[in-house]
Chain A
Amino acid sequence: MFSGWNWVACGLYLLLSISSFEVSGGLVQSCGHIIPESPVLALGSNFTALCILNESCLDFGNIYAHQIIWKTKNRVVPKEQYREINRTVSSVTFNDTSSLATPLTCNVLADGQIEQNIYGITVTVGLPPEKPKNLSCIVNQLSKLTYPMTCTWNPGRPTFLDTRFVLKHRWPQENFPDCIPKDVNNSCTINDVQFFVNLELWVEAANALGKAESDPLVLDPIEIVKPLPPHNLSVKSGLLPTVLKLSWDNRISGAVMKLKFNIRYRIVGDTDWMQVPPEDTASPRTSFSVQGLRPYTEYVFSIRCIREDGVGYWSDWSEEKTGVTTEDEPSKGPSIWRIIDASHSSASWIVHLMWKALEPSEANGVILQYEVTVRPKSSLSSPPEKYSVNTTNLTLKLPNGTYEVSVIARNKEGASPPSVLLIPASNSKAPVKNLRALPKDGKLWVEWTAPNSYVLKYVIEWCLVSNSSDCIIEWQSEPGNVQETYLKGDIKPFKCYLITVYPLYDDGQGSGLSVKAYLQQDRPSKGPTVQTKKVGKAEAVLTWNHLTVDEQNGFIRSYVILYKTVDGRETAVTVDPSKTEYTLSSLTSDTLYTVRMMAYTDEGGRSGPDFTFTTQKFGKGEIEAIVVPVCLAFLLIVLLGVLFCFNKRDLIKKHIWPIVPDPSKSNIAQWSPQVPAKHNFSSKDDHMYPEGSFTDVSVVEIEADDKKSFSEQDLKPFDLLKKEKSTSEGHSSGIGGSSCMSSPRQSVSDSDEGETTQNTSSTVQYSTVVLNGYRDQTPVQVFSRSESTQPLLDSEERSEDHAGGGDSSALRQQYFKQNGGQDEADTDRPCFERRKQITSVNERDLVGFAQLQILDQSSQLLGLELEKNTREAALPDILQTNTEGQTVRPEAVGGNPLLVDEMPKSYLPQTVRQGGYMPQ
């Protein structure tokens, strides 16, 4: 504890000792100092500083050199750069002064811990001056006797030090005071110089690190004079209208310098200067007459000067002065043109004469009036008519003919040469050739090839083509020897101009040749609006209208149709600009397309609005190709169906509304004791079982031997059939015929049915007729086929033998076979044969047959006509014959009533199942 306080006390004592030493030694007296004191160092050089401690401090404060710490701007210098020379001197070395910061201080650690500054220096780092270069001088004349000379030079790189530049000059035998620049380091002005003696000039640059001199410049200041421009310039009109006289004063003595001059001039309003040939003004002077000027034109003049031998500098241009040349008579007549309006009368024209006001360069003064002379060419005797006008147009009503119109312009100095125009009856002479117009240098140029004949001059008419305004004609005239010109008017870009060139001959004018042109083209202001005219499955006909001329902004070079599907890539088609319709092909059917159209000029294109359309699902004729055949097929099927149905109507009838024999009206019913008395088959009952209510028909086959039961009269109509068939097939044995056409009457009445009926001579089979309910009618009682095999007639056995089957199923099988197979000729043929046999049999055994028979088509073809003829004749007879109610009236089906033959009383069913056939 004690030792700690002891150390602190020692430290305080040391500090107080150093401080007291400093204070007692003077205001600024330290324990040491640094050598060199505030040095100026070259940038990049090495530098060594020494810190020397005072001897007194060694003993007093125990400060030695090894305790020294060097710092640059509060940053400790690494000890590697220190060197303890002896116990009082420490050095520090810097290899590159560019990194040396200022101040550089020498410090010690008092008592090993407390840092105490001993001394500090400011280090200045910079560069020695470079040799000044590019020394040049100019003597600017300020007044008649004041010629200050200003010299400039390149001072070189920055030195970062205070560097002094001095311009020195001397004569060989005399030195002059230095010229010290003010505020700059690269120029200095010597106020007064003497000419004609060589002056040596050079620049000295010096700073703390060195001194440099430029190369000397030896010159006579008179050679670098920039004189003041001449002044008091005046311009006076000369005697001639093309001359102006200039005069001026020079501001430099001829003894000092002889001068030559430049004179420039321009027309007021122009920007381009013209210059008097320098050789004309290459000698000292104070006046000059400028010639070759335009009459009555205001000119601006300016002048400058330089030493006569061209050594030195040109003066500035003098102030500008203007002058006006005097008037002269117009140099040429005004260009004249006409518009002939012949629509008012066939005998006279309204002629609008127009001429151009002369350009100032041509008018040569103020045009006071125009004199127009109209001289008829046809009648030379008639005097010419003269008009004096102040305007540039004149409208005359002239009889048809040829006239020579001349116009002269007049000013106060005289009249112009006349301009002559022939007004011909028609423009029938040769036009120019190869007319074309093109923009060039901001002008719209017209070029053409001259006709073969000599052309006096050309007239170029043009007008702006627009939808919104009329074509207002402007024109200009060109000499006959030119073949190109530009339109001298307010030609607007993006506008269409119709340009017509007329050649004028000695004896008239040629036809005009026209061309359209643009000064500058642009993209169209809008694109065409496209729409579909017709859309098909794979193609679409697009149509659009041409852009108006105001919308085109240029020549439409092409149309481009861009179309795409919703998710597809856009396809472009280029279309000729003359077209207004285009057919897109190879499209996908039933697809939504977006189409737009771009119109292109030379400068680009612009798109019109989008238009969408959907291609059709079916192409043109596809539907027809599908529908028509389908319809035809359908019709054919229907027709075939109808024909089939017609042919098979009996069969159909059999299946749908079979005629169910009414047992109550049959002979058997009448005969049968079980027939209930209440059965009353009236005509009303016929309607109870309309067609189609039968679902099944059974044939009652009855062997009828008693052919005598039919009267001869009844059989008469069938003779023809019988004869015909017998002649073709011969007379059958009667066994087979009984199975097919047992009843000649039925055969005739249903002649379109080839169906043969079984010969029921031996067996009576009762079908069970199942009646479904027809409409709202009560189903009819079902007839059940009788299972009785009781022979009814003797012939029944024979019939079964011939039919090849004795049971009812066999018969039915035969029946259906005949009924269902039209193409089974083998089956049909026996049917015919059988029918013949039956016919022959019927002639013998018709009485007592009750048979439903469906004839096949073959039989129908054979018997159709016959049927028609015989039906009407035979039916009444038959019905009349069966007046006793033994005959079942045929139910009319489509005009083909089925006949139910009268059942002979002698053929009775032996067994009738109770209720089996009884109508309800």
Chain B
Amino acid sequence: MAAADSPSATLRRRDLCSRGIRLAGKMRSDVIDLLDTYVERQGLDASASVAVVEGVPAAAVEHWDEQSGTQRLLENLAAYRTFRTLLAQMLEEQREQLGEADAGLGRALAAVLLQVSAFAYHLEELLRLESRGAPSEEEAGPPQPLHLGLFERKLRGLGVLRELAQWAVRSARDLRQLAKPSLGSSSALSTAESP
């Protein structure tokens, strides 16, 4: 982190944090909308409880405020890479299941997938600015494809989306925390906006 002290790096970091926070907010908004659509189209109950999805990183964490910036970024990056894989699988499954009959759900899933990818790019860039560098995809380890039934896949998708919404909130907070001058290498960061 200390290496990224040049003004341009500071501005870049500030810009990435700012837009990452906004992206997280929009992602959360879109995921919330997508959840409603998903529940409706998949015939699920919105109040259905979903067990912890395997391979999906939990957003909740103890001692959150004690985490370092790099740690936050790494956890976020790992989570979103996982979400990217899961969402890609969901999109594939959705296309296999519904074909082009429900293009709206597919487009919404694709849009969220793009946002997840974009957020992961933000995180990678931030890590690069921290002179840390992003770990390779293999380092995080892609979740293995599971052979689940249709309903389970639907429930897993619901769980993925719910967890993604949670992560969107946490990511925004993480980035806001990173943007604070005390934690960042630059005092130029202004107060980030809440999503």
Contacts and interface: CB of A to CB of B under 8 A. Distances in A.
A197 B122 contact: yes
A345 interface: no
Contact of A195 (B23, B117, B193): B23
A160 B62 CA distance: 68
Contacts of B114: 174, 194
B117 A256 contact: no
A681 interface: no
Contacts of B19: 196-197, 220, 222
A1 interface: no
A255 B29 contact: yes
Nearest to B32: A255
A221 to B, nearest CB: 11
A173 B80 CA distance: 15
B123 to A, nearest CB: 11
20 contacts: A145-B33, A171-B117, A172-B121, A173-B117, A173-B124, A174-B121, A192-B107, A194-B114, A194-B115, A195-B22, A195-B23, A196-B23, A196-B26, A197-B19, A253-B29, A255-B22, A255-B25, A255-B26, A255-B28, A255-B29
Interface string A191-230: 0101111000000000000000000000010100000000
Interface in B100-139: 107-108, 111, 114-115, 117-118, 121-122, 124
B117 A253 contact: no
Across the A-B interface, the 8 shortest Cβ-Cβ residue pairs: A196-B23, A255-B29, A197-B118, A255-B25, A196-B19, A255-B26, A194-B114, A196-B22
B22 to A, nearest CB: 5
Nearest to A197: B118
A826 B49 CA distance: 182
Nearest to A308: B193
Taking each of A195, A196, A222, A253, which has the highest tally of chain B beta carbons within 10 Å of its own beta carbon?
Answer: A196
B78 to A, nearest CB: 16
B111 A194 contact: yes
Contacts of B25: 255
Contacts of A173: 117, 121, 124
A258 B114 CA distance: 22
Nearest to B114: A194
A256 B121 contact: no
A192 B111 CA distance: 8
Given A192-B107, A194-B114, A194-B118, A253 B23 contact: no
Contact of B23 (A145, A192, A197, A258): A197
Interface of A: 145, 171-174, 192, 194-197, 220, 222, 253, 255-256, 258
A172 B125 CA distance: 10
B29 A256 contact: yes
A570 to B, nearest CB: 85
Given A145-B108, A196-B122, A197-B23, 16 more contacts: A172-B121, A174-B117, A192-B107, A192-B111, A194-B114, A194-B115, A195-B22, A195-B23, A195-B26, A196-B19, A196-B23, A196-B26, A197-B121, A222-B22, A253-B29, A258-B193
B195 interface: yes
B52 to A, nearest CB: 27
Nearest to B28: A255
Interface core residue of B28, B29, B118 (most chain A CB under 10 Å) = B118
B69 interface: no
Contacts of B184: none
Contacts of B23: 195-197
Contacts of A172: 121
Nearest to B121: A173
Interface of B: 19-20, 22-23, 25-26, 28-30, 33, 107-108, 111, 114-115, 117-118, 121-122, 124, 193, 195
Contacts of A220: 19
A315 to B, nearest CB: 19
Contacts of A145: 30, 33, 108, 111
A172 B121 CA distance: 8
Given A255-B28, A256-B26, A196 B20 contact: yes
A34 B188 CA distance: 71
Contacts of A222: 19, 22
B118 to A, nearest CB: 4
B105 to A, nearest CB: 12
B136 to A, nearest CB: 13
Contacts of B107: 192
A27 to B, nearest CB: 47
Given A194-B111, A196-B19, A256-B26, A171 B33 contact: no
B83 to A, nearest CB: 15
A256 B24 CA distance: 10
B133 to A, nearest CB: 14
A358 to B, nearest CB: 52
A278 B195 CA distance: 25
A253 B32 CA distance: 12
Q: Which of B19, B28, B124 has the most CB of A within 10 A?
A: B19
A171 B29 contact: no
Contacts of B111: 145, 192, 194
Nearest to A199: B118
A98 to B, nearest CB: 49
A753 B143 CA distance: 182
B134 to A, nearest CB: 10
Contacts of B117: 171, 173-174
A220 B121 CA distance: 14
Contacts of A196: 19-20, 22-23, 26, 118, 122
A222 B26 CA distance: 11
A543 B175 CA distance: 101
A192 B118 CA distance: 14
Contacts of A195: 22-23, 26
A258 B194 CA distance: 11
A255 B22 CA distance: 7
A256 B28 CA distance: 10
Contacts of A197: 19, 23, 118, 121-122
Contacts of A192: 107, 111
Contacts of B28: 255
A912 B193 CA distance: 179
A639 to B, nearest CB: 136
A197 B33 CA distance: 21
A828 to B, nearest CB: 153
Nearest to B23: A196
A173 B20 CA distance: 16
A196 B193 CA distance: 14
A699 B122 CA distance: 173
